Structure 1
Amino acid sequence: MANSSFAATLFNVVFTPDNRTLTYNVEGVSNINQKISAELELIVYGLSAMKQDLNPCETAELKQGLCPMTAAPIKINSNLDISAEVMSNIPGIAYTIPDLDAAVRIKISDLDTNKLLACVEAELSNGHTVQQKGVSWTTAVIAGLGLIASAITSGLGHSNTAAHVAANAMSLFGFFQSQALLGMVAISPPPIVAAWTQNFQWTMGIIRIGFLQEMATWYQRATGGTPTTYLSQLNSMSIEVQKKIKRDAIPYTRDAMAALTREVGTLAPRSNADTTSVINEQRVVLHGIERVGFKARMETTNIFFTGYAFFIIFVLLVVIGVVAFKYVCEGLVKAGKMKSDQFTDFRNGWQTVLKGILFRVVLIGFPQMMVLCFWELTVRDSAGEVVLAIFTLVTMMCILAWACSKVVRIAQRSILMHKNPAYILYSDPTALNKWGFLYVQFKAAMYYCIIPMLIYILIKAMFVGLVQVNGAVQAVALILIETALLVGVCVVRPYMDKKTNGFNIAIAAVNWLSAFFMLFFSGVFSTPGIVSGAMGVIFFILNAGFALVLLLMVLISSGFALFTKNPDTRYQPMRDDRGSFIKSQTQLTTELDALGATARGEGKGQHARVDSDEDMAIDRQTMAAKEAGFSEHYQPAPPRGPSPQTQSPFGDNNTVPAGSPPSYYSQNSPQAVDRTASLRSEAQYRAANNSSPWQRGAGYDH
């Protein structure tokens, strides 16, 4: 309490209900020099479950050192017998519910005047917690499996399945990141909320590895910073009972001798200070991002560097994985272990695919790095880390802004030429492989929706990272931001189909409810402790159940994508005609070769005449290829040899190596100009006479 006359450096409390004993070990510094009385109170979810008066002069265990209490360092080791009547008042949930919101509080008063002189408090844990490594590993593996399954399915040519699995996996990962951000809000959540959100801090790169912590400390010192040493000071304090951060925060001193008492929040004095300076020591609260880092057993000054390092490591692992997969495929094909037509598009254009994957990795790490970089600008651990934060902020925002501008320009050109944004966005393999991560999850006409989604993430990260000094402001901002997203998703419904829209609307709704709970936990409404405790349990049940449902859905869809022969049958074709444009180069070459052979009359007499339905199917396929321009743009691959470079009309200097799939951008030659003019005249003729059935879809109505 403020102006306390006693500061505890150690406060261990163990309650054993079997023999009704309360054992406590207290060490501290006293500025009291008189006879005192004490009151012991057990508080469960804000309710007083037990009270017992203690008179040190009448208790043999307390008489030494406390009767009277002297102004000096004090050590108390005592066992108290709790009466059966008091035991009956303790609720049963205190022994079973995980992350119990309970505390033992001892008030010290003047024996004669009953004036309150000091108050120390320690939280109790019953050994049950929802913070489990198994939860973190399970969520990480399933989210990663979804992304890998989508990549493999796309390489096998099942574009519709790949788009659905990737969209759901990305939404699942975004939900996990939202859970982690809730844990970083600078409020005092119930212990069960803090423990649950800690399971998802791996999505923010908050993962402890010993050598990485040493590297972070070295880098900070080398660039002019002073690392904190909180963890090294815990060897003289008890962390046996308390497994979580105190709900009312952890006071500590920001100097080399700072220490955290049992992770519960009492004053940690300097060892060489006198009693007066100790009692009046300035208190600093450990909350938000610092609390998350400390619970992950890392120094608070290492949090930014740890998250940054894990993002870089993730990028390097992705690059190594893609390159290794490319050479493994080539080796298996040469050894005859894999068919030559498998992963053909990836093997021919793997560099473009790698660029697209790296852009997707930047999108995945965008929330993480924005929060940590903004936060680093406020704490300024060292000059080097501030430079890294600024460089990362500018680089990632510029990369994603450039990618969004490319998508918008390509779509506008497609609308101008073909009255449909899906035409170039999905028919050109270079655009699809490089920029498709930004728009494949949305309807073709909603290609621009990634821009408001990025703005949503950026604003959310700014409030979490920059406003760590005021948790109430963060809570109010989060509820407004989540409300805007929920309304927008429900009204616009921008995702590719009804199921994907429902998937993301459900996530937005749960995120809004979670933000609503955080508003209550922030203390804005001054709710009683029992209300916050009950809402904390509801928060855990809601989010844990919903996360389980999402994990099962992604796991099942990934399993069907990997282990069924034709997973595209599980999904209906998209209404925006994207399936008509997403064609494998191998499939197109084979189909057009077959059509050409039929037109030349080759193979007559060798095959029986097809029935009328097959004839009609071939006619429709020929018309589709002609109207979509596939016969113009996707010619059979020429013999390998030197090929001139082509310049993209969008200025990205795309080069087309010999033998690679031709790009829609290769239009600098006279033949390309003639083909474009022919295509435009044909489109004008169709518009003047009849409406093609290919023009029924998203984008043609605008």
Structure 2
Amino acid sequence: MRLSFAAVLGFLCCSSTVLPFVAADKILESNSLNSCQDESAFSASLFNLVITPNNTKATCRIIATTSVQGNIVFDINLKAYGYGIFNTIIDPCDKDNKFPGLCPMSPGNLDTKFDFPLDGALDRLPGITYSIPDLDASIQIFVNLTSTGESVACVKADFSTGKTVEQLAVKWVTAIIAGLGLTSAAVLSALGYSNAAAHLAVNAMSLFGYFQSQAIIGLTGIHMPPIVQAWTQNFQWSMGIIEVGWMQRIFTWYQRSTGGEPSTLFSSLSSASVQVLKRSLDSIPSGVSHLMDRGVSALSKRSNVKLTNGSYVVYGIQRVAYRTKIETTNLFLTGLVFFYFFVLFTVVLVALFKVICELCVRQRWLKSDRFLDFRTGWLTILKGIFFRLTLIGFPQMTILCLWEFTQVDSPALVILAVVFFFGMLGTLGWATFQVIRLAHRHQNPASVLFSDPQVLNRLGFLYIQFRASAYYFIIPVLGYTIVKGMFIAFGQHKGVVQAIALIIIEVAALISTSVLRPWMDKRTNSFNIAIQVFNFLNAIFLLVFTNVYGAPTMVPSIVGIVLFVANAAFSLILLLMVIISSALVFWQKNPDSRYRFMIDDRTSFMKSQTQLDNTELDALGVTARGDGTSYASLGNSTEDIDSIYSTSNTQTRSALRQTPMTATAHNEHTHEDREKFVD
């Protein structure tokens, strides 16, 4: 069943609650002109077309070069969301509407301004059309010779209402709330509320991961409607893609000084146009494919595909850089520097918090046991924070480093990409190996992974979000990140391949998470599975955008609106959940009581020294490990940790007889926690 344009706009009216835009002036305007025909005899360096509902004419200003000789007619076709609004033929030699310089058209430079009638075509456009952000509308004009009817040129212009869903406020709000969740978790952990801190940290990291997945959609070399391009641009900050003028000048200098050739796209805008490609290169019509032969052959070396008419075309990662106003040869270094600025800022913040705590204790503004775990083991905690930040930035650096391998912007940048990609991969791989090695040697993973504060603080970022028996799930998570990043970085000019690969990757991730349910509790599993469902749906939407099945052009446009509305609503829900969770835990006297204890009994092993006296701590350690040795007397080596678990059952029974009251209390506590979880 064919949808009408009115039905499309009706859907937009229903979804207007998530589109906070009010039209001050009703206007449709285009400032770009793209060629849509092989060997077009018409190329424009300046094009401006304005349509307003106040009159029935369109005002056009063109500065162009043409090789057409003779009388011509314009075959004009206006479309919005793939639906044809009107199709008309205009004769510039018509006695009622003569166009200066176009009757007849002669070879040479053309500088003209004229109006042409639209009759009653605009009556079919509802008023909301002029309020829609990132309108997916275009006008296509064929220039045909009057004598033969042959088409000698074709130009296409995209329209805009001047409104967009890409908003600076959205970028700041999402970044602040994601940071708020991580900060709240850190504060609760320092206060000793490990259970509440773990839940907040997991939700905040999952939210950040969802933002990264939204940004990755924009990095694909796939056709996307304007509203999807603008929406995904709101989350590029999570990939470190942030434009700062003075930093860009430094990056350009660094690249040039290390043997590279910086791109000069933005300095060329006065003499060349930039086309934001709406299709992946594997779906370019054959009529204009020859224009990209030279550009595609140099794709692996340079950042922009240059067309034979002097203009540029950008897509995928290049499109994101262009929309962010970053030269594409600076994109890798921009992401790298912002990631490590974030790491450095966090390290300084933790060190400053340590100094403030010690000063407050000395001045007796704080009790001496306040933040005791943090103050005594802050260096170990700092190592854990560094590891956690490495995990957070791994998707970003995987894509940017692998993409830099295809660009070779300069020898120094390639070396940086090699060092940081393999350095982060090696760091996470080593930490994962240590976790697997420790857990495999003992029957109860919770006892070895959660009982030693030093192991927990250094390596807990890999497994604390999972239940103890699913500690291994970090391996498929890292594999998922690497494989996805490879397809994004290496498949820029193969949009269909990217879309199919992403569907396979996301469906595998969805099935594994739904079946295994590896996270720490039911609520966290639901939170992360819901995110994975949306990642899978977005992958399907990307396949629809490629239009590999030859669907009507209206279909990708409608799907783009659905993607925006669905993800905007889902993002709002996730943000509210993180805000509410972060706020409620600080209103309770014991934040840990807001969350049920996990069935793996990790809380029995995670009790800090500030909450238990030495006798209770030693007794719990005896019960868990089966001997009388305390972790406090051990070093950091895994060999010392492993040796604890080699004692005999005789020693275990002897230790339990020495502390019958404590052991009984611990068993009753564990039994009670399990009953709470089951309930």
> Which residue in 2 is equivalent to 1:226?
261
Counterparts of 1:686 and 1:564, CA distance in 2: 36
Change (3 A) 1:466 1:237: closer
Helix, strand or coil: the match of 1:585? Answer: coil
Picking from 378, 401, 409, the partner of 1:373 is 401
Picking from 127, 132, 135, the partner of 1:97 is 132
Does the 8 Å CA contact 1:253/1:283 hold for their aligned counterparts?
no
Change (3 A) 1:452 1:636: closer
Change (3 A) 1:629 1:253: closer
Change (3 A) 1:211 1:683: farther
Deviation of residue 678 (structure 1)? 6.4
TM-score normalised by structure 1 residue count: 0.82
> Which residue in 1 is equivalent to 2:322?
294
> Which residue in 1 is equivalent to 2:564?
540
Counterparts of 1:529 and 1:478, CA distance in 2: 22
Deviation of residue 104 (structure 1)? 2.0
Does the 8 Å CA contact 1:253/1:282 hold for their aligned counterparts?
no
> Which residue in 1 is equivalent to 2:15?
none
Picking from 637, 649, 654, the partner of 1:648 is 637
After superposition, residues 1-40 of structure 1 pair within 5 angstroms as 1-40=37-76
Picking from 557, 561, 574, the partner of 1:550 is 574
1:145 aligns with 2:115: no
Counterparts of 1:647 and 1:105, CA distance in 2: 69
> Which residue in 2 is equivalent to 1:524?
548
Change (3 A) 1:282 1:526: farther
Does the 8 Å CA contact 2:627/2:651 hold for their aligned counterparts?
no
> Which residue in 2 is equivalent to 1:75?
111
Cα RMSD over matched residues?
3.1
Does the 8 Å CA contact 1:10/1:237 hold for their aligned counterparts?
no
1:581 aligns with 2:605: yes
Aligned amino acid, residue 323 of structure 1: A
Aligned amino acid, residue 682 of structure 1: T
Counterparts of 2:262 and 2:472, CA distance in 1: 44
1:92-148 CA-to-partner distances (Å, cap 9, x unmatched) read 442222211001222111111111111111111112211111111111000011111
1:464 aligns with 2:488: yes
> Which residue in 2 is equivalent to 1:641?
none
Does the 8 Å CA contact 1:105/1:119 hold for their aligned counterparts?
yes
1:439 aligns with 2:463: yes
Helix, strand or coil: the match of 2:600? Answer: coil
Pair member with larger Rg: 1
- When structure 1 is superposed on structure 2, of 540-549 and 12-21 the one drifting more is 12-21
Helix, strand or coil: the match of 1:541? Answer: helix
Deviation of residue 348 (structure 1)? 0.4
Does the 8 Å CA contact 1:228/1:299 hold for their aligned counterparts?
yes
Deviation of residue 52 (structure 1)? 3.1
Helix, strand or coil: the match of 2:493? Answer: coil
Counterparts of 1:254 and 1:389, CA distance in 2: 28
Aligned amino acid, residue 417 of structure 2: A
Does the 8 Å CA contact 1:50/1:89 hold for their aligned counterparts?
no
After superposition, residues 381-530 of structure 1 pair within 5 angstroms as 381-413=409-441, 415=442, 419-530=443-554
> Which residue in 2 is equivalent to 1:568?
592
Change (3 A) 1:433 1:129: same
Helix, strand or coil: the match of 2:369? Answer: coil
Deviation of residue 174 (structure 1)? 0.5
Does the 8 Å CA contact 1:11/1:238 hold for their aligned counterparts?
no
Deviation of residue 312 (structure 1)? 1.5
Deviation of residue 527 (structure 1)? 1.6
> Which residue in 1 is equivalent to 2:623?
627
> Which residue in 1 is equivalent to 2:208?
173
Deviation of residue 90 (structure 1)? 2.9
1:33-62 CA-to-partner distances (Å, cap 9, x unmatched) read 121111232210111112332211226875
> Which residue in 1 is equivalent to 2:33?
none
1:144-164 CA-to-partner distances (Å, cap 9, x unmatched) read 111111011011111110110
Deviation of residue 338 (structure 1)? 1.7
Counterparts of 2:539 and 2:306, CA distance in 1: 34
Counterparts of 1:59 and 1:503, CA distance in 2: 67
Picking from 222, 228, 232, the partner of 1:187 is 222
Counterparts of 2:132 and 2:82, CA distance in 1: 15
Helix, strand or coil: the match of 1:568? Answer: helix
Does the 8 Å CA contact 2:398/2:482 hold for their aligned counterparts?
yes
Does the 8 Å CA contact 1:27/1:76 hold for their aligned counterparts?
yes
1:66-85 CA-to-partner distances (Å, cap 9, x unmatched) read 122122121221123432x2
Helix, strand or coil: the match of 2:550? Answer: coil
Change (3 A) 1:683 1:472: farther
Aligned amino acid, residue 39 of structure 1: D
Counterparts of 1:12 and 1:134, CA distance in 2: 30
Helix, strand or coil: the match of 1:58? Answer: coil
> Which residue in 1 is equivalent to 2:6?
none
* Structure 2: segments with no counterpart, 5+ residues: 1-36, 282-287, 296-303, 658-662, 675-679
Counterparts of 2:225 and 2:145, CA distance in 1: 33
Does the 8 Å CA contact 1:39/1:54 hold for their aligned counterparts?
yes
Change (3 A) 1:254 1:531: closer
Does the 8 Å CA contact 1:34/1:68 hold for their aligned counterparts?
yes
Deviation of residue 586 (structure 1)? 2.1
* Identity, % of aligned positions: 44
Counterparts of 2:604 and 2:445, CA distance in 1: 13
Aligned amino acid, residue 120 of structure 1: V
Does the 8 Å CA contact 1:49/1:91 hold for their aligned counterparts?
no
Change (3 A) 1:345 1:254: farther
Aligned amino acid, residue 476 of structure 2: P
After superposition, residues 253-402 of structure 1 pair within 5 angstroms as 281=309, 285-402=313-430
TM-score normalised by structure 2 residue count: 0.84
> Which residue in 2 is equivalent to 1:118?
153
Deviation of residue 13 (structure 1)? 1.2
Change (3 A) 1:464 1:59: farther
Helix, strand or coil: the match of 2:89? Answer: strand
Does the 8 Å CA contact 2:74/2:141 hold for their aligned counterparts?
yes
1:162-213 CA-to-partner distances (Å, cap 9, x unmatched) read 1100011111111110010011110111111111111000011110000111
Helix, strand or coil: the match of 1:75? Answer: strand
> Which residue in 2 is equivalent to 1:52?
88
Change (3 A) 1:88 1:335: same
> Which residue in 2 is equivalent to 1:156?
191
Change (3 A) 1:390 1:486: same
> Which residue in 2 is equivalent to 1:136?
171
1:244-279 CA-to-partner distances (Å, cap 9, x unmatched) read 9453489999999xxxxxxxx9x998xxxxxxxxxx
* Structure 1: segments with no counterpart, 5+ residues: 257-264, 270-279, 596-620, 638-644, 651-663, 668-672
1:12-36 CA-to-partner distances (Å, cap 9, x unmatched) read 1111112333111112211211211
Aligned amino acid, residue 297 of structure 1: K
Change (3 A) 1:255 1:205: farther
Picking from 205, 212, 215, the partner of 2:247 is 212
Deviation of residue 235 (structure 1)? 4.0
Helix, strand or coil: the match of 1:528? Answer: coil
Deviation of residue 625 (structure 1)? 5.5
1:41 aligns with 2:77: yes
Counterparts of 2:232 and 2:366, CA distance in 1: 44
Picking from 211, 235, 250, the partner of 1:200 is 235
Deviation of residue 677 (structure 1)? 3.7
Does the 8 Å CA contact 2:200/2:581 hold for their aligned counterparts?
yes
Counterparts of 2:574 and 2:280, CA distance in 1: 32
